[in-house]
Every structure is written in C-alpha cells, then in structure tokens.
Structure 1
Amino acid sequence: MTGRDRLRELLDAVLDEDNHTLAEMAGDAYASPFHLSRVLSRDAGEAPVAMRRRVMLERAAWQLRQGGSVTDAAWAAGYESVEGFSRAFTRAFGRVPSSVDASTRHWLPAPNGIHFHPPTSLWVESTEHALNALTEQLVRHGLDDTRHLIEVAKGLSDEDFHARRLPGLVVLQWDGPEESVQAVLDHLVGTLEVWLASIEGHDLPGREEDPSAARLLERHDAAAPRWLAVVRDIDRRGGWDDRLIDALCEPPESFVLSSVVAHVLTYSAHRRQLVRHLLRSAGTDIDTGDPIDWLRARRGDTPGGTPC
C-alpha cells in the first residue's frame, strides 16, 4: 500500500472549482471520462456530473442563507443563466432560491454522505446508520444493473432500440405497453422519477417523447443517488411503516413506504430481465444480471462455481 487515496483524488477532480465538464474532471484526475464515471458510480454511488451539480447547489443554498444574491449564487454554481439555476434549485430543494432563509438546510439527500461544508470544504457524513446488508445489496444492485443495461442499449442501432419485439406486452396496466428495449428502459427510469416526486413532494415529472439511450442514462444518473438516499433515510428513521399520502394520484392514495420500496424492487427486477430477453433477441450478448456476480465484481472476488 502506498497510502495514496485514489478515490479522494477523483473526488477532488470532480469538485475542483475550475472543472466544469466531465472531460475536464477526467483530465485533472488523469483518467478517462469512462473510468472516472465508472469508479465514482461504483465506489461513491453517484456519477461525477451529478455529484458536482448537487454539491454546487448545496453551496449555493449556503450562500443564499448568508444573504448572497441569487445571481451571484447562480454564477458561482456554474449556471449560464439565473433561470436555469432557479429551475434546478427549485427541483432539488422544493423552493425557489429567493425564498431561502437562515432556517433552510443546505444539504441535499446523498447516497455517499458527501456534502458541501462551508466555506470551501467537504463534509463526509457518518455511514454508521447505513442500510442493512440485504436491503443495501438489493437496492444498489438494481440501480447498478439498470445503468449497465442502458449502457449496453447505447450500442444498439436505432431500429433495434425501438423494435417492437414483445407486441402487446403490458407490465402494469397504468404504465401502458412496453414492447421494445426503449420502452422498458424508459419505464425502469420513469418509475424511480415518479416515486421520488411523490416522496420528496415535487411535481410529477412529464413523460418525455422517445428519449434516447443517452438521455435515459442521464435521467437514471440523476435519479439513482436520490433513490438510494431516500431508502437509506427511511431506514435511518425506522420509517418503513410510515404512510405516504400521494396527492399526485387522482384521487389521492395512501402507500406504506416499505411496500413502495418492495414494489420498485419487484418490477425493476422483472423489467431488467425483460430488457435482457429483448437484447438477446436483437443479437446482443448480455450477462444474466445475477446479484452474486455483481457482488463478486464489486469486491474483486474470484468467481466460484454454481451450487451443486
């Protein structure tokens, strides 16, 4: 061991004041953009661009709490317009920047405990209240596996990405048909976005018309760390039996939070295997998605045999 903290070096490159793009972050870290994204998504539970955006918004909230102007906070956070900053801030904090006061908490949900700490530092929150091992593996495997499948789908031709290989297939009646790789992946990502909106108290996200695989990956990388943070927060509070009154439904419905997480896990697993079936039908070689293999890869274990 050399004592070199490579993960810390990557984090420093992501959060450096002068690095605004993934390419700039990767260059400062002496890594490829792909390697930087893969390592941070795996080891910190958050893609580099999403992490930087979140931490910069946390810093902006702190600046506003100190009496800073919305315009100054927007520029400092790297936004090209006050309008764009205001939209992003409102989505993240559930309130417009101009309404921030001394009582506003400037931390956002984070899957890794990494937050902005004034004036220019980071704070790494204790992980002693992390999820139990089984729930952690189920949630993180589902998120990592979805990301992996979207990456594979990026290599499909447009024809194969949209091909209706399962005509008439409906997984859940209210979601409509899921007949192609594109449709199933869209529902995988959209399910997280809808439940996050309900739990966090945000507006229901609109359905995008024909999102590309690259766009789905962008949406997934924004939603995945928030979902992990939400589940961890439920566990930390012992809130599994809490009820969510979802006013986004018409009429409003009540859901037990443990059942919401179980619902997401169940249909995520089903849809991921549907995507694998569709990818194989398109001639793409794809793994099984076994969580045993996923955990071995994360730990660097040598693969063993299947049980006799």
Structure 2
Amino acid sequence: MSDPAESSALPPSGHRGRDRLRELLEAVTDAANSDVADMARSSYASEFHFSREIRRLTGESPAALRRRIMLERAAWRLQRGEAVAAVATDEGWSSAEVFSRAFRRSYGVPPSQAADVGFRLAAPNGLHFHPPESLWLDSDPGPAAAVGDISELMIVHDVDDTAHLIARAATLTPQQWLAEVAPGQTVLEWDGPEPSVGAVLCAIVWNKEVWLATIAGADFPARTSTQPEFTDAEALAVHHDDIAKRWRAMVSEYSAAGRLGDTVIDALCDPPESFQLYGIVAHVLTYSAHRRELARAMLAGHGVTTRLGDPLDWMRGN
C-alpha cells in the first residue's frame, strides 16, 4: 500500500477480504466518538495504532480528517436550509460561535453564505463527505494508478468467474456433470440445448472460441473440447485457460489500437452478416453472464456452493 504522501488518493479498500479502511473511517466519522480515544475504542485498536493507521492510509490525523468531513457535512446541511445552531450542535462543535469561526476559516465565508460555496474542501487524499451519510473517494488521476475501463473489468471478472465455476463443477460426479437438470434449456438456438452443468459451462467457453476464430479468420473450431460428453471439468478448465488468455489478448490488442469499431463480415452465416468487434464483445459478455448464473443455480441443485457472481463481491476479494 502506497504512502499517502506519494499519492493524491487512498488505496482501494476492497482488496483485502476485510474492509479495514471502511471500519477505520466509520470510527472517525461516528458522531458518538468525541475524541481519538473513542474512535480507537470503537474500532478495537489502541489509540496509538489507530492514529498511525489513519495517518498512513489518509495522510491526515484522525482529528483533522474528522473535522474536515464534519465541516463538509455541515456545509451541505446549511445549503439545504438547516439552522446554524442545530448544525453546529449535531456536528460536534461546542457552540455556534466556535463553529462559525471554523467554517469561515475553511470556506472563506460565514455559515449564512454556505450556499455560495461548494461543500467540498481541499483534501490530501481525495476523501470527502458524500450526501446524505456516505463518503466519496476520488480516484487518482495519475496514469500510474489509472483505473481500467468498465469493459476491461467485466472481461476480467467474466473469465475469472467462469474459471471459478468450472473448478466448482470439478467436484461433481460424472453423472452429475451430464445430468439433464434443465431438459430442453436453450440459450442461443444455434448453440443447441444446454440441459446440464457441463453443457452450460462448455457453451461459455465455446462462445469465445468461435468468435476468436471468426475474428482471426481461422477455421471453424472443432467442438470436441467443449462437448460435455467428450470432456470433463478438469479438461475444460485447461481449455478455458487457453481460450481466456487469447480472448483477453484480442480485446486488449484491438482496444489499444483503437480498432474495436472494426467490422468482420462473417461469410459462415447464411446470409453473411457483419459484426463490429465491440458488439461481439458485448454479446459474449451478455450471454456469458446469463450462462454463469444458470450454472450457479444448477450447481446449487447438486449441492455445490459457489461465490456470488456480482463484480462488486469479486472486487472485495481481489
């Protein structure tokens, strides 16, 4: 985790199973905590450790962070027409006079003119009050810490979640792998029925493999590696790993070159059809997400637990 002095934004808080940053910030902003000792106690830490962690993670002392966040919340409340005295008391100031002096020093205007200024104050860490009772953390605008775009997040989550489901399917018996728990289930007509866990998971991999061949101008791939009758979860996992790497590389290459708007005219269709690359990616992600949820439900029917398919849940654990 980087030193706050080296970055204008806090590190992501979701990369450790437990969101410790959120816990610490809640202790700082809890109205019931009147001083650092109270904050530390509510977060089950010593005062020394608590203060050190807050400063390390945010670049501010707990008292300074709390004061700024409370001022931002107070300014927002004043802009909504609440009385100065009531806001001052609720936000922890000893009197309206003390609050007014603090407000003027920070915003350059008295509380009566709160509507003339934005409620956000300069922050060394990008952390701000966010109405009505939340916090907002600005991302770091620097290229070294730039967050990937939404499509990249969805692509990485898709292949990782698929790998997870295939791994969980490896705990099934061969009979469960092929069991037709959803007779007649068809997702896309041209892919055929997908009545079993094996069929659904194979179809996820097959869909990417077909489009990769179309984009590369390669021969139509054989289906033996993605037919549940001819493969098992362990073999599918190996095949998926190869297809996923190629899929991510293809999207990355065309994206970097600014060519996701290119069009491939598929002569294998009757009649031939044209597809723009970003449309192909959206198609694959849409039906992969649908099939992953089908597979989840089918695995649950076999007594196999899986993690949630929610990208937010996935981000918390990565």
For 2:298, the aligned partner's letter is L
Residue 253 and residue 131 in structure 1: after superposition, are their counterparts in 2 closer, same or farther (change >3 A)? farther
Deviations 1:95-121 (A, max 9, x none): xxxxxxxxxxxxxxxxxxxxxxxxxxx
The alpha-carbon deviation at position 189 of structure 1 amounts to 0.6
The residue number in structure 2 matching 1:219 is 239
Query: Is residue 165 of structure 2 the alignment partner of residue 165 of structure 1?
Result: no
- Structure 1 distance, partners of 2:284, 2:179, is 25
- Length, aligned pairs only: 172
The residue number in structure 1 matching 2:218 is 202
- 5 Å matches for 1:267-306? 267-298=287-318
For normalisation by structure 1, the TM-score amounts to: 0.53
- Structure 2 distance, partners of 1:280, 1:288, is 12
- Structure with more relative contact order (C-alpha pairs < 8 Å, separation 6 or more): 2
The alpha-carbon deviation at position 252 of structure 1 amounts to 2.9
For 2:184, the aligned partner's letter is G
- Structure 2 distance, partners of 1:297, 1:217, is 21
For 2:234, the aligned partner's letter is A
- Structure 2 distance, partners of 1:131, 1:264, is 23
Query: Is residue 194 of structure 2 the alignment partner of residue 178 of structure 1?
Result: yes
The residue number in structure 1 matching 2:154 is 138
Deviations 1:267-297 (A, max 9, x none): 0000000000000111112222111121121
The residue number in structure 2 matching 1:238 is 258
> What secondary structure does 1:244 align onto?
strand
Give the fraction of aligned pairs with identical amino acids, expressed as a percent.
48
Deviations 1:210-241 (A, max 9, x none): 22111111110111011001111121121222
- Structure 1 distance, partners of 2:316, 2:188, is 32
The alpha-carbon deviation at position 131 of structure 1 amounts to 9.1
Deviations 1:166-192 (A, max 9, x none): 111110111110100000011001011
Does the aligned pair in 2 maintain the 1:131–1:236 contact within 8 Å?
A: no
For normalisation by structure 2, the TM-score amounts to: 0.51
For 1:164, the aligned partner's letter is E
- Structure 2 distance, partners of 1:272, 1:262, is 15
The residue number in structure 1 matching 2:46 is none
- Structure 2 distance, partners of 1:131, 1:207, is 37
User: Structure 2, unaligned stretches of length 5 or more?
Assistant: 2-142
- Structure 1 distance, partners of 2:156, 2:187, is 22
For 2:289, the aligned partner's letter is A
Q: Paired residue for 1:256, among 263, 268, 276? A: 276
Runs of 4+ with >6 A deviation: none
Does the aligned pair in 2 maintain the 1:153–1:161 contact within 8 Å?
A: yes
Deviations 1:22-73 (A, max 9, x none): xxxxxxxxxxxxxxxxxxxxxxxxxxxxxxxxxxxxxxxxxxxxxxxxxxxx
- Structure 1 distance, partners of 2:244, 2:270, is 26
Bigger Rg, which one? 2
User: Structure 1, unaligned stretches of length 5 or more?
Assistant: 2-126, 299-308
RMSD between superposed Cα atoms in Å: 2.0
For 1:134, the aligned partner's letter is I
